[in-house]
Chain A
Amino acid sequence: MGEILEMNNISIAFGGLQALSNVSFSVMKGDILGVIGPNGAGKTVLLNCINGVYDPDEGEVLFEGRPIIGLPRHKIASLGIGRTFQHSELFQRMTVIGNTLLGRHGFLKTNIFSGGLFWGPGRREELKARKNAEKVLDFLDLYIYRKERVSDLPYGVQKIVGLARALAGEPTLLLVDELGSGLMREEKENVARFLLRIHYESGTTIIWIEHDMQLVTDICNRLICLDFGTKIMEGTPQEVISDPKVIEAYVGRSD
């Protein structure tokens, strides 16, 4: 029916803290869904539940109609769900190209024998992967940083490298966690541009956690707002940001 992701009654608690309670929503194929909400509302936890980093206590997650809770994490990734992390979580000891190549991990069939020999099939696979990774780097204007170690790069660039790594896996659903935070205005515009292009060229569905309201209302076609682990509003960007509950969550009531 066009729904690529359905989350039904997701609840999860950590110790005494109820991080999510009864969150339900669905995402259509081709949506760009924005997830907003004040800090600590549980937005990252929500993404983690989709990815398999956490297993929700209750509820179900359906990806393309199939339940995915309890699947091993690497299997979830191979289904076509990509992820960027709030603190980029790049592999610090590797270069940009190395990180991106890792995104292609699932597409490679090299085992230790063909990898160790590196002649014939091993080399061919590696070259193919390299070409694909370079395409991603080119798309994101990262090719100048290709051989740099990620730990040497500026923060904004590191975030884009995280995006590159996620894109290299050719995801059908891309989960983006606060890609715009900590970036300068031009970098944010770049990010917006990239996400739009990704969406346009590959039809990737995007779920985007973000704090910058302008970015989110301009780019996303649907929004949901979380507060204290519950979904308080869902709808088009205009509907959501003008909803009094959402305004209250962010700004507080003026009693």
Chain B
Amino acid sequence: MYSIQLEVPRKYTDSPYLKRSYFEDMAINAFDTPFRRKFLVVGIILGVLFPFFSPPFFLHIANLVAIATIGALALNLLIGNAGLLSLGHAGFMAAGAFTTAIMTVNFHMPIWLVLPVAIIIGGLLGLIAGLPSYKLKGIYLGLSTLAIHNIIHYGCSEYQFHGGFGFGITINEPSIGPLVLDDKKVWYFFLWIIAAGTGLFITNLLRSKPGRAWVAIFDRDIAAEVIGINIGYYKILAFVLSSGLISMAGSLYAYYTAVASADEYDFALTISYLAMVILGGVGSVLGSFLGAFLITVLPFALIYIVGLFEISFVIKEYFSIIQSAVFGLVIIIFLLVEPLGLAEIWRRARTYFDLWPFRFKPLTTTKR
């Protein structure tokens, strides 16, 4: 008879994958293990150094990606987590942009006042858009949001047209105290801090009561109601929060590009954000970022490729249409092939390496 004695070294019992309290268990995926924390620190350092070493053109793209991330996060919350179809995205962004325009041009309000007001106005419009969701679902909801978008768009175009603003209302650079936001580098930090904050905010929401309630409503709303969730309240809450954030993104965009023009906020913009959500992964915070990144970069990449090859003149002429078409194709392909988007592909790759050489995680057996 052999008796085997194992002295498990202390460092293995202190495995970072072993969570020792509920508090640790609830931690956000990105920071829960030391390895990930180190990775994150490296990432942050790279991110901070990026603007000082990159050509201004890429910096500009990075800023656009930040704004797109905020919009995508908000839209993903509505469509991916709460399951409420909204086609009114561009309308809410326009609302934010035009609120900004009106407040800065007519009343000379500073940015730290304009942003909250934009959020509130976006939220109010979201309330109106969300009221139908009390009784309606899916298709009907999509149509009502489309109607809201058209009405907002109309309002904004009328204001622009009758106010004699021609192609757009120009907005001066905002300043927070002594800091003037006119340099792209300053914008970079400002925008990415807001984007990261929004991401954190939404991640926190998803791991607490409202987030769970939204997922429950998406999955089985009658059961959710019977459990005690007030589905009408939460649906409208999702709309209000989402459109408030989208409006903030619109406001930031207007500040950044220094102009508010109704033509920019058309249905094609909604399509591009839908593409971000679907490409990135519905319901996933990481997915919103990935989708926003790729879809924002895509047109620039297309232009670059087209420039390289001197492809047909036609393509250059109708570029925006082709861009929309490419987004449409991206949506179609992803819906047919990988409906859960890039985030799912990332998860699968991670699980593959996690479990290797096994392929499936064995279901824990019962204690019999």
Q: Which residues of A contact B (CB under 8 A)?
A: 51-53, 72-74, 76-78, 83, 85, 89-94, 98, 101-103, 105-106, 108, 110-112, 115-118, 122-123, 125-127, 129-131, 134, 144-145, 148, 152-153, 165-166, 169
Contact B204 A74 (CB under 8 A): no
Which of B26, B201, B229, B364 makes the CB contact (< 8 A) with A105? Answer: B229
Interchain Cβ contacts under 8 Å between A and B, 9 examples: A74-B227, A78-B228, A89-B220, A91-B219, A91-B223, A92-B219, A102-B229, A130-B26, A169-B228
Residue of B nearest to A110 (CB): B209
- Does B212 interact with chain A (Cβ within 8 Å)? yes
Measured in the bound complex, the distance between the Cα atoms of B366 and A85 in whole Å is 24
Are B227 and A105 within 8 A (Cβ)?
A: yes
Instruction: Report Cα–Cα, A165/B237, bound state, in Å.
Output: 24
Interface residues of A: mostly helix, strand, loop or mixed? helix
- The residues of B that contact A125 with a CB separation of less than 8 Å are 208-209
Could you mark each residue 328-368 of chain B with 1 if its beta carbon is under 8 Å from any beta carbon of chain A, else 0?
A: 00000000000000000000000000000000000110110
**B211 to A: closest C-beta gap in Å:** 7
Residue with the highest number of chain B CB atoms closer than 10 Å, among A53, A76, A91, A152: A91
Across-interface contacts of B268 in A (CB, < 8 A):
none
Extra contacts, 17 of them, besides A77-B227, A91-B216, A126-B209 (Cβ < 8 A), are A52-B225, A53-B222, A74-B231, A90-B220, A91-B219, A93-B218, A94-B212, A94-B219, A101-B212, A105-B212, A122-B204, A125-B208, A129-B209, A144-B367, A148-B363, A148-B364, A169-B228
Q: List B192-226 residues whose CB lies under 8 Å from chain A.
A: 201-202, 204-205, 207-213, 215-216, 218-220, 222-226
Q: Which B residues lie within 8 Å of A134 (CB)?
A: 22
A42 to B349, CA, bound (A): 49
Q: Is B277 an interface residue, CB under 8 A from the partner? A: no
Do B215 and A94 touch (CB < 8 A)? yes
Instruction: Report yes or no: B241 in contact with A169, Cβ–Cβ below 8 A.
Output: no
Contact yes or no, B364 A144, CB < 8 A: yes
A126 touches B26 (CB 8 A): yes
Question: Which of A93, A101, A123, A152 sits near B219, CB closer than 8 Å?
Answer: A93
Check B2 for interface membership: any CB of A closer than 8 A.
Answer: no
Kindly list chain A residues whose C-beta atoms are within 8 Å of the C-beta of B207: 118, 126
- Say whether, besides A112-B241, A127-B22, A169 and B364 are in contact (CB < 8 Å): no
**Cα distance, A165 to B219, chains bound together (Å):** 15
Chain A residues positioned under 8 Å from B205 (CB to CB): 112, 115-116
What does DSSP make chain B's interface, helix, strand, loop or mixed?
A: helix
Complex CA gap A152/B226 in Å reads: 24
CB of B228 within 8 A of CB of A91, answer no
Q: How far does the Cβ of A107 sit from chain B's closest Cβ, in whole Å?
A: 9
Q: Are B202 and A116 in contact (CB under 8 A)?
A: yes
A6 to B210 CA separation, bound complex (whole angstroms): 34
- Please, how many angstroms separate the alpha-carbon atoms of A166 and B219 in the complex? 17
User: B23 at the A/B interface (Cβ < 8 Å)?
Assistant: yes
Across the interface, which residues of B come within 8 angstroms of A148, CB to CB?
Answer: 363-364
Shortest C-beta distance, B27 to chain A (Å), equals: 10
Residue pair A118, B216 in contact (C-beta under 8 Å): no
The 10 A-B residue pairs whose C-beta atoms are closest, nearest first, are: A77-B228, A115-B208, A118-B204, A73-B225, A89-B223, A106-B228, A116-B201, A91-B219, A110-B209, A108-B209
Q: How many Å lie between the Cα of A78 and that of B229 in the bound state? A: 9
Q: Which residues of B contact A83 (CB under 8 A)?
A: 226-227
CA distance A182 to B274 in the complex (A): 42
- Complex formed: what's the CA distance from A237 to B207 in Å? 46
- Interfacial chain A residues near B219, Cβ < 8 Å: 91-94
**Cα separation A23 to B207 with both chains bound (whole Å):** 43
The CB with the most chain A CB atoms within 10 A, among B23, B210, B226, B229, is that of B226
For B218, the chain A residues whose CB sits under 8 A away are: 93
Contact A131 B22 (CB under 8 A): yes
A206 CB, nearest partner CB in chain B, Å:
17
Contact A102 B216 (CB under 8 A): yes
Q: Which residues of A contact B215 (CB under 8 A)?
A: 91, 93-94, 98
Given A116-B205, A165-B227, are A102 and B212 neighbors across the interface (CB < 8 Å)?
A: yes
At the interface, yes or no: B230 with Cβ under 8 Å from chain A?
A: yes
Residues from chain B with a CB closer than 8 A to the CB of A77 are 225-228
Residue of B nearest to A157 (CB): B366
Residues of B within 8 A of A72 (CB): 225, 230
The smallest C-beta distance from B140 to any residue of chain A, in angstroms, reads 21
CA distance A118 to B206 in the complex (A): 11
Distance in Å from the Cβ of A162 to the closest Cβ of chain B? 9
**Complex Cα–Cα for A134 and B26 (A):** 13
Contact (A85, B223) CB under 8 Å given A105-B229, A118-B208? yes
Which one, A93, A105, A144, contacts B209 given CB within 8 A? A105
The answer to whether residues A152 and B223 also contact, given A74-B230, A115-B210, A130-B22 and a CB cut-off of 8 A, is no
A117–B203 Cα distance when bound, in Å, is: 10
B204, closest chain A residue (CB):
A118
Pairwise interchain contact B363-A152, C-beta atoms closer than 8 A? yes
Bound CA–CA A111/B205 (angstroms): 9
B residues near A103, Cβ cutoff 8 Å? 227
Looking at B22, B202, B218, B241, which has the most chain A CB atoms within 10 Å of its CB?
A: B22
Complex alpha-carbon distance, A144 and B364, angstroms: 7
Residue of A nearest to B240 (CB): A112
Which of chain A's residues have a CB closer than 8 A to the CB of B364?
A: 144-145, 148
